[in-house]
Each structure stands twice: as C-alpha cells, then as structure tokens.
Structure 1
C-alpha cells in the first residue's frame, strides 16, 4: 500500500470513546497488541534490541496496571499475545516487505513516544542516579 499526505484533509477522532466505556480495554489491548505488532513487523537483526526495550516498557505498564486495579486485564492481554503469536504470519510479512531491513530501521524513532511522560521521568531519574 502507499501513503499520501493531503494537507487539506481533516480527521475527527474522539480519543478514548471505546476505552472510556470499557474498563481495562486499553490495558488489555496494549498488553496484547504491542508484543504481536513487534514480533510480526520488526526485522530479525533488530528484533532482540526492540524486544528488550519493549519488555521494560511492558513491565512498567504491568506495574502501573496494578495501581489502577487493572492487573487482570494486563495479564489476560499478555497471555493472549503469547497464544496468538504466529511464526507463519511473521514469515509471510517479512517475506513480502518492500524495503530493506536497514531502510526500515532508519524510519524507526529510537526514543520514547512523545506522550510517555511517566517513562521520561523515570529515565531522567535513572540518569541522575547514575551520574
């Protein structure tokens, strides 16, 4: 598929419309989909590097789910991610990629997402302690 930028396009999206109505929805989806997305789409040379960072983020997310009373949703998402992991689907995706592994890696932002304020604070604290 191809993507195009259309400057005059407008998107109207109500953030949280589903998740605000279903307790644990976002927690479950995050714990299930992030590992699957990573496993299926990251090229082999970079998979271990990305998975190490993802495991740290998911562990922190899991701990936060405890404080929010959503541990059961986090654990169910993690369990379902392991159950749904599909090596054949990964192979099919990797076999049909249109760019090289290096081109893919160049597109990846190698930092925390812009809205990850809690993780940024934790990282900043770690840097201060290690100095």
Structure 2
C-alpha cells in the first residue's frame, strides 16, 4: 500500500490549445500545472460536495483515499464554477446565475432531511414550524 506522501506519475494527452488554456489558468491561480490538474480532477470527482457524515473516504475498491490538500486553494472552486457557467458567452442575470450555482440544493436538502428523519436524528414539528435535532 502506498504512503500518503508517495508520488506517482499520471500521463494524459490533450490538444495543444487545451494545454495552453490550462497553463494560463494555472498561472492566474499561482499554481503549478501539476497542482492545477490535480486540483481540478479532485474538484470534479467530489462534485463540489462535502463527504457524507461518517464517510471513511473509501473508494469503490475499499481503499481509503487520503484527502488531497488544497483541493480548492484560496476558495477558487466557486470562481471556477462561475467561469464555467459564463464560458458560453451568454449574459446571466443574478437570479439565473444563482440558480445555475445552486441547481439541485433544494433536492439535496430534501433528501438529507428525509434520510435524517428516517434515522430518527431530525424531526419536523408543524406546531413549531420547523426541523429540530432529535436527541
């Protein structure tokens, strides 16, 4: 089993124009190209969602994957998402841009609350008009 600090090489082939774009973006973020690619891959893999409570960080094969440090240095993930949305050249009003960024938050919140209620960790009270931890 590899240690957390052991490094390995990953090689991929991309069009030259894409490499130039990645290099420019990495420079803007004051990152090395390797750090940029690693960060973007990790951000894409996580879907910008925090791990579920109690998650061990285990991969599909059962191995535990260490947390990649600085997955979004300087909080760049949100800025990157905004840039990606605006990349199509269209103008977005504030509400439309906000909707693009929070596209499925309501569904995710509902799913989380239903799961927490089924596990008797949260309950809804109509009398009090809201949710509360069930301790």
Q: Under TM normalisation by the shorter chain, which class is it?
A: 0.3 to 0.5
Structure with the higher strand share, 1 or 2 = 2
TM-score, normalised by the number of residues in structure 1: 0.32
Report the TM-score, using the length of structure 2 for normalisation.
0.32
- Say which structure, 1 or 2, has more relative contact order (CA 8 Å, 6+ apart): 1
